């Protein structure tokens, strides 16, 4: 039993909760931040859904990335910090600066508090969005030496993740005071949902199972959230992880239509609504004129987004599940938790 205290920021988050499960199963004591303590019961229930009763080994602190209050208390006594919390604009916040500056400031706020508290190492949950966006078509897989091209066609969210991670590395170099940093850059994160509050990537699978009328020509790598959590723990304690970025991906990328075919092949009647029709690029481009969701994927049409996990395997001994396991575990959890729509008719033209 390891009594080391670890802070996991953003305790309502999908990756954060799986990190907490992995830490609790490894015997650590935890503290997590939430914007409102009213969500403590929800977080504890989702951990129970993941098979762990946290009890007194988990405590909560109210802290918001947009303010200094609470962060000194959150990091006090912690040896490690897993920082995955990220501000997400909503409503009428559609300007680029509403995404970028809060993400940068949030990272710096947590890093300063961690440094001042004597934290040994911070593991930052970044994103593939800080690695592989804005480059257009390319031949080789992305790796950790790549950064998203801010001068290319890049969405505000992806720009925010890129600039926030760059700011974190610059802080460590200039003001870190010896504190160590490692970054995890997950591709599309699937695996088992723990409740109705899940990631954007899981919505891809839910939409297919709910009867989305076809698949855009989008390519992506995938990774199981349990493997992302394991990689965070390795990056937290492994000597070779300090000062390094690690792409979290299960292996080769896949087109969304191939994901749809897998669901139909392996899930039987549960996948009756899944369409394997490919939506033409022109239809997405036309729809992007009025639909923000289509606009956000327009630049990704037909682009191979393959990424390599060689570095994490070689340096840390990380061994992720396969892409198909991640996809199917996600779909099965949505079915088990009753999170799928029940009224939508099966799509035509599969």
Catalytic residues: 161
Picking from 157, 183, 158, 156, the residue whose alpha carbon sits closest to that of residue 169 is 183
Distance CA 350, CA 19 (A): 38
DSSP string, 278-305: BPPHHHHHHHTTT-HHHHHHGGGTT---
Distance CA 226, CA 247 (A): 15
Residue 184 φ then ψ, to 5°: -110, 130
Q: Do the Cβ atoms of 62 and 35 come closer than 8 Å? A: yes
Tokens of 206: 């839910």
Beta bridge partners of 6: 30, 80
Tokens of 144: 């950790």
Strands in 58-62's sheet, in edge-to-edge order, are: 58-62, 29-34, 5-8, 80-83, 121-125, 180-186, 245-248
DSSP string, 181-236: EEEEEESEEES---SS---HHHHHHHHHHTT-S-B-S-EE-EEEHHHHHHHHHHHH
Picking from 194, 163, 28, the residue whose alpha carbon sits closest to that of residue 97 is 163
Place of tokens 């015997």: 27
The helix/strand/coil state of 97 is helix
């Amino acid at each position: 039993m390891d009594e080391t205290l670890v802070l996991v920021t953003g305790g309502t988050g999908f990756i954060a909760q799986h990190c907490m499960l992995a830490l609790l199963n490894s015997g650590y004591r935890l503290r997590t931040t939430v914007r409102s303590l009213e969500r403590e019961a929800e977080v504890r229930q989702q951990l129970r859904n993941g098979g762990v009763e946290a009890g007194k080994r988990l405590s909560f602190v109210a802290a918001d990335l947009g303010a200094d209050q609470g962060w000194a208390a959150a990091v006090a006594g912690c040896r490690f910090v897993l920082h995955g919390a990220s501000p997400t604009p909503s409503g009428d916040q559609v300007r680029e600066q509403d995404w970028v500056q809060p993400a940068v400031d949030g990272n710096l706020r947590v890093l300063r508090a961690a440094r001042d508290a004597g934290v040994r190492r911070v593991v930052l949950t970044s994103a593939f969005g800080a690695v592989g966006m804005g480059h257009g078509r390319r031949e080789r897989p992305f790796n950790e030496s790549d950064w998203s091209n801010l001068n290319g066609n890049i969405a505000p969210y992806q720009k925010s993740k890129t600039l926030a991670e760059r700011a974190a590395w610059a802080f460590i170099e200039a003001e870190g005071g010896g504190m160590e940093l490692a970054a995890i850059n997950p591709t599309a994160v699937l695996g088992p949902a723990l409740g109705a509050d899940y990631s954007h990537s899981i919505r891809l699978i839910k939409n297919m199972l709910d009867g989305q009328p076809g698949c855009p020509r989008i390519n992506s790598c995938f990774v199981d959230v349990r493997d992302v959590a394991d990689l965070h723990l390795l990056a937290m304690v492994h000597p070779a992880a300090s000062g390094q970025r690690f792409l979290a991906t299960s292996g080769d990328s896949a087109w969304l239509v191939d994901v749809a075919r897998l669901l139909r092949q392996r899930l039987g009647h549960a996948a009756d609504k899944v369409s394997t029709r490919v939506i033409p690029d022109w239809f997405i481009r036309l729809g992007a004129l009025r639909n923000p969701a289509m606009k956000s994927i327009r630049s990704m049409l037909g682009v191979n987004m393959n990424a390599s996990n060689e570095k994490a395997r070689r340096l840390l001994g990380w061994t992720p599940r396969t892409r198909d396991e991640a996809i199917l575990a996600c779909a099965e959890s949505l079915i088990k938790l009753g999170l799928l729509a029940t009224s939508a008719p099966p799509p035509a033209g599969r």
